[in-house]
Each structure stands twice: as structure tokens, then as C-alpha cells.
Amino acid sequence: MAEPAEPQARLEKLVRAIAANMVADVCSIYVRRTSGALELFATQGLKPEAVHATRMAPGEGLVGWVADRRQPLSVTNAPAHPSFSYRAETGEDPLQAFLGVPVVRSGQVLGVLVVQNRTQRRYTDDEIEAAQIVATVLAEIVPTGDLLDEADTKEAQALLEAPESGRGAAVSAGIAIGTVALLEPDSRTHKVFAESVAAEKTRLEDAVAGLQKSVDEMIATDAKVAGVSREVLEVYRLFAYDRGWVRRIEEKVLSGLTAETAVEQVQAENRERMRAAPDPYLRERLHDLEDLSRRLIRALQGLEGPPELPEGAILMAETLGPAELLELSTDRLAGLVLADGGGTSHAAIVARSLGLPFVSGLPGMVESARPGDTVIVDGDTGEVHLRPPSDALRSYADKKAMRERRLEAYAALRDEPAVTKDGALIDLQMNAGLLLDMPHLKETGASGIGLFRTELPFLIGRTLPTAAEQEHLYREVLRAAGTKPVVFRTADIGSDKRATYMTQPVEANPAMGWRGLRVSLDREGLFRTQLRAMIAAAGGRELRVLLPLVTTVEEVEAARGVIEKELSRRKRGRKPVPSSVIVGVMIEIPSAAWSARSIAAASDFVSIGGNDLAQFFFAADRESALVSSRYDPLCPAFIGFVGRTISEAKAAGRPVGYCGEQASDPLMALVLMGLGLRSLSVTASSVAPLKAMIRSVDLGALSGWLNETLAAPSGELRREVEAYAEAAGVALPSWA
């Protein structure tokens, strides 16, 4: 490649060298044009006159098959393959065996590398891997001008810079226009090819050893904590010490790549393999490999901690946890786009608290994004536009301005009550989880904090928060709320909510495992410390405590017993106690919903947690992008179940509210009101739009219509509710 020669001569020499090394009768390089066609650019073994004359249409032939699927194809009898396309001008008649691998960079297929043989031979795994390594090298140098002439290089670069649009799951509302930031270190900050293979191999070995040492130290530290399982970290360590993973990186370094580029290429290959795996546990392991790869690249680059973000950053990543999100410079963050992550994940909850537009379920776009690219995120519709044209930028700038004007109109209702046209008062509260959420209470005019998620401080830090730290937080929250009530939900830890220092056992189905109140009752020391902090913070004012994931009456009674112990302890110390302690329960499990009357009778109030209740009702993991969108909670079956739960809880004489994120959906909120609920706790951004809607509703008419509709359900409840709202003049929130 370093020899002085014209690009075409270099290509021809390259295919001759590959054919000789792989003992192939033919080696060809196809380059993708901006039209999508794949043009034969160089060959050893086919007719020379076919070069630049043979073009495969998008998806045509075995070459098109490889490009479309972005994966290798090895066949012993190419003409028998259903995708085979015969091209007489190439002279390919006697060829049988075919091996094609895609040339991929930044998620874009730039071309296809092909080797062929006359015999019906089977290419070995080593040969396929060797071809992939060559394709990796081609992917790095095709856009640089080393292989193509100036015009062709510009066309290859245009593929990488082409606009992309997609629609994912709308997770958090709002519109953001900004620049791409990635969790992975920017590949442009390091070289592609090594100046010294030996020196690069040493760099890699040192970085891997340092990574393994850091994992060992984590395990050694956690081993000192009695009774805490080390299984999670042990699995993580297995990946760090996996010789197969390290060997694949070493092989790419030995081929002439820098260690950083080698790690990135193996990381991309692992993503493809893991996404195709049918086993959900194996797919989850992708997160471990992603984390290890990012750590290794940062170690190679001498970096520590999370990446620095530019102003107006749109973070694009495979996955993201709530702690990772909060470690970033959130004042510079304008929006989020993730490949994976459901609308009720805790990264989503934090994003809503921060007012960040968030779209998930776009793995291809995340893969093709590059730092510095312009991107538009529409968290209202789920649309994302990467490298958008100027007319799209203007259109979304206008839409964003219109949205801001509508928000100003909503702000005028801040101090008005949430009262329906026929005089029914709706207690419209907001959800929170961080101290930085509290200013929203005044800004939105919410009547209080219906759900303060206390687990977020447990997830953000590197160690368990002390009693003093928790007390300070709860006191500040109560101070910021003033005279408005605050409902503190005890730490709902488990499932997807784990900090780096938490090492609980690996569970096949963690959403239905050791989490919520189960953890609190089994780890009474943790529970009592939190309650002690809440009681101290409340001083002489009322304290409202909400117990998550309640299953049985016995659990409620056990939890109340622990609360009484802490109250007695404080009284013995002659310290002020709350004027009253009101204990509520969250109904999030179908069995608990079925026992709502008895569970409600053992508590002071009931709050229905719609997110978990729906995922268990539909047997669809709310964290899975594959199934979380396959059900609509606004369907007759679920609404009937919720209606029964409300009636049973009310029969025990207890107030009932709804604190699921679903209540932020205006159509769902209408139905809940029609079912008899008079208390909703929603995201801060939803308070004002819902208040405007509530003030336009005749609740008596709505309840009558809903009862008739549910008596003869059609299965299209969402559409019917929307039609009713339009006919009745209900002011549904809209940014159009």
C-alpha cells in the first residue's frame, strides 16, 4: 500500500496477493456506489474487461446478498444458491465455491470482498476470518483515497455522510437538534494502522493486563462484604479473561491494525453475533462485552471516566443505565438515542426527569452515527434524522419553536386547579427521583410529589449512601416541596436497577425475582437505615411512605412492623418524630391486584404502578425493545383489570391513585378518570398538558360513555377514546 502507484494498480496488486494467499482461483473487490449498486472494481481470475463494467443491482446475486445482510456467505456450489445471478461477461462459468464478506464502516456497507474456486470446496473458519480481517482493512482505507481515485473516494465518503432517517420508540417527549456524542471513544482520535506491530502488541497486552487487574480488584473489594454474592462480577471476569476475545483482537493487531482499531472491529463482530443469538441471556452478555471494549479502548488511549460531551450533545449508544447517564455532563446533553431500552427503563425515567427527548430501538442508526454528526431527535413521534438535509433542519426548528409556544400557553395554567368542567377535582401530582426534579413542582403547578423514587441515589454513587446522606436528601426534598405533600417510595432495587457495587445473584428472570420490598425485608439493615433517614428528615411534619412491589398482606404487616421499630427507637432517643406516618402500597403484580381489598385494608392508601402491572399482565418485558411495544395498556382486557383493582381498593375505604408512566398518556389518563380515579402522578413534563385537558372534560359524560363502551368492547379502545375526545371537544395535548 505504501508503494507509489495509481489506485487501480494498487487494487489489482491487492487482489492478486489475496488470491495467492488464500489459494483462490478468483479474488474480486466490489465497491458500492451511491445508487446502491455494487461495481466490480478489481479482480484476479475474472475477465479484465468486466472491471467497471459489471454492476450488481441492490440485492442482486450472492454479492448483493452479502451486502444486504452485512454478513459473510460461504457456499460450496454457488450456481445452486437461490440468490445466484449469472453474469456472462465475467467469465465465471466454471466457478463453484464462493466466499463473500462485507466491507463495513460506521454501519455502512462500502463494498464486498469475494474469493471463488472452481472446485466445490468448503472454506474453513480460519479462511473466513482471514477474509474478514482483509475486509476490515479495506473498510478503513477505502474512504481515505489510498485505493480509489479522487472521484470514487468522494462517492465512498458520500455513503458515510448520507442522511438517514428512522422511527423508533418514543420514550421521552421533546425535540432536540444537536451533534452526535458516543460512549465509545472517537475512532478518529487514533490511527488505523500500526507503525510497529510488535509495539502495538505490547500496548494491547499491557492494556488487557490492566483491565484484568482492575476487575480482580473489584472482586477482591466486594469479597469483604459478607453475604453478598460475587457471581455477577465473576461472570464479568470470565469475559475479561476470555482468551477467545483477546485472541481475536491480537490477530487483528498482527494483521497491521492499531490496538484501538482491533478492539473496535471485534466489538462490531460481537454485536452482530450477539444480536443474532436466540438466547436472551447471551444477548444480555453483549452489555458486558460492550463495557469491556469501551474500558479497554479508554485504557489504550490513557483516558479515565466518562467521555466529555460537546454543547448540545445527542448521546447515541447501544445501551445506557441510569448511573451512566447521570455521570455524564447532563447540562451539555440535549437528547438520547439508544439501540436498546424500553420506555419504562430507568434510563428513560431519568431522561424524563431531566427533560431529555429520548428515542430507542434504532440499532442501525446508532451504529452508523459518528461524533460531530448533526442529528434531530423527535421524542414525540419517535423519529430520528441523522445528518439531515437543510430543509429538514428548518422544518424541525419551526416545530420546536411551535412546541415552546404551546408550553408557554400551558405555563399560564400553572396556578389553576385541575378541575373538570362539571366540577370534579383531580389531584394531579408529579413523579420525581432527584433533587434537581424539585423545581418542576413549582414550575408545573403540580399538587405534590406522588412518587419520589428513592433508589436513584443508590444507583448513582459508587457506594451505598449513608444514613446521613439519605437524611440530607429527604430533608432537602421536603424543604423544596414546602407545604405540598411528598410520597417517598422505599428503594425499589433489583431487576434493571443495580449499581456497580451491587452483586446480587444472576437471575434468569430478574423482573420477577429478588427486588423491591422483597429486598428490603430480606436486608432489614438497609431498610431500617432508609426509614431512619426518612423519619429524621420529616421532623414534626407528616411522612408518607410507599412500599414497592407488594405481594401479600403479610409483607405489608412486616414492613409496618419495621417502621414501628424505627419510630420507637427515635422516641426513646427523645428526638422529634413525624406528626403522622402514612403507609401506602404499590399494586404492581396481578396477584396483588386480585387481592387489592385485603392489601388496601392493611395500608393507608393504594397506588397502582401501571408499568410493572402491565408487563406482568401481558407477559412482556418492559425492558425489551422486542416485546415492550407489542401490547397497548389501553386495551379492554387491561383496562377491565385495572377497573376491578380500583373498585376493590375503594371497597376497603382507601384512597387510590395511579403512578405509572402510562398516566402521562392523555388517552390513558382520560380512561383512568372515567374508571373513577381522582389522583394521578405523572412525569413533570406531562402535568401542564394534562391539566389543560382535564379542564376541558365533562367527567360525568366521559364515565357514562366509558361504561357503555367497556360493556361491549371492540378491541379498538384507543381509537374509540380518541374519537370520543375529538367529538366531545377534549383538549388533547398536541405539538402540531
Known catalytic residues?
346, 659
DSSP 128-157: HHHHHHHHHHHHHHGGGTSSS-HHHHHHHH
Longest dimension (CA), the chain: 97
DSSP 260-302: HHHHHHHHHHHHHHHHH-S-HHHHHHHHHHHHHHHHHHHHHTT
> Residue 166 in 3-state DSSP?
strand
Packed helices 699-711 and 636-651: angle between N→C axes, nearest 10 degrees: 120
> Residue 101 in 3-state DSSP?
strand
In SS3 terms, 355-419 reads as CCCEEECCHHHHHHCCCCCEEEEECCCCEEEECCCHHHHHHHHHHHHHHHHHHHHHHCCCCCCCE
CA 640 to chain centre: 31
Report the candidate in 504, 527, 525, 524 with the shortest Cα–Cα distance to residue 514: 504
Report the candidate in 588, 516, 515, 171 with the shortest Cα–Cα distance to residue 342: 171
* E runs forming strands in 580-731: 581-587, 605-608, 656-658, 679-682
Antiparallel, parallel or unpaired: β 38-44 and 26-32 = antiparallel
Residue with cell 494467499: 21
By the 10 Å C-beta count (0-12 exposed, 13-18 middle, 19+ buried), 479 is classed as exposed
Cell of 552: 401479600
State the Cα angle at 340 between 311 and 210, rounded to 5°: 75
Half-sphere exposure at residue 541, Cβ-oriented, CA atoms within 13 angstroms: 17
Rounded to 10 degrees, what is the CA torsion of 610, 613, 616, 617?
-90
* Residue 610 identity: G
Report CA Rg, the chain: 30
Q: Let me know how many helices (H) and strands (E) the chain has, helices first.
A: 27, 22
- The number of residues making up the chain comes to 736
- Residue 99 phi/psi, 5-degree rounding, is -135, 120
Exposure string over 615-629, b if 16+ CB within 10 A, otherwise e: bbbbebbbbbbeebb
Q: Are 733 and 725 in contact (CB under 8 A)?
A: no
Around Cβ 149, how many Cβ atoms within 10 Å? 11
55 bridge partner residues: 39
Report the candidate in 397, 390, 278, 268 with the shortest Cα–Cα distance to residue 339: 268
Cell of 462: 459508587
Q: How far apart are CA 24 and CA 21, in angstroms?
A: 8
> Which residues have C-beta within 8 Å of that of residue 686, sequence separation ≥ 6?
173, 663, 664, 733
